[in-house]
Amino acid sequence: MIDAISNNSGFSVLWQYVGPLIGVGLGYLISLKVWDRQKQWEMRRDVIFEVVRSLGELDNSLSGLHVEYCLSIPNNEGSKEEALVKRNEKRDDFISCHTKINSARFLADMVIGDKFDAAISECLYEMRSIAEKIIDGDTSCYLHAQKALGEKIRAVNQGARRELRLKNAE
């Protein structure tokens, strides 16, 4: 057998069987790596989409909260009670939306990392601060905060675009 390997004929026979197996194994390892990278990208995409969707819902909820608190409360008892119930519903809706995006933020922090999480956190802080002021009776803060809030929302969207490697991401 040593003579067969030394004159290369035995090795050729062995390589004829082992070579394709090595090729298949390498192909399998490469496909696993590509599959894993694709699955990780899909997970990042899903988390980012959830954050952006939830942020839109929270922004709409904040707007609804502002509108409801801008309406004056009527003097008669039945209408007054109805107005207060609507205000409470809008407040509860804001809290629910905030809870939802906060859950998505924790996932984003785990899957994506600190930079994107920081943009989300700043935006949520701004929205929560505005909501608290509205509930405390300062409805004008909503209009005054629109520029700053818009910049924070854009920062989250830019971070999402960057993480998804989409064009026009800074």
DSSP 110: H
**Beta carbons within 10 angstroms of residue 65's beta carbon:** 26
Q: For the whole model, what pTM was predicted? A: 0.78
Residues in CB range of 149: below 8 A, 6 or more apart: 123, 126, 127, 130
Long-range contacts, stretch 28-36, CB < 8 angstroms, 24+ apart? none
Reference 159, options 103, 106, 116; nearest CA is 116
Position 122 scores a pLDDT of 96
> Does the pLDDT of residue 141 top 90, yes or no?
yes
Q: Which of residues 41 and 140 earns the better pLDDT score? A: 140
DSSP 118: H
Position 23 scores a pLDDT of 65
Mean per-residue pLDDT, 14-25: 63
Least confident of 24-28, 87-91, 105-109: 24-28
Mean per-residue pLDDT, 63-92: 94
> Does the pLDDT of residue 22 top 80, yes or no?
no
Radius of gyration of the chain (CA): 29
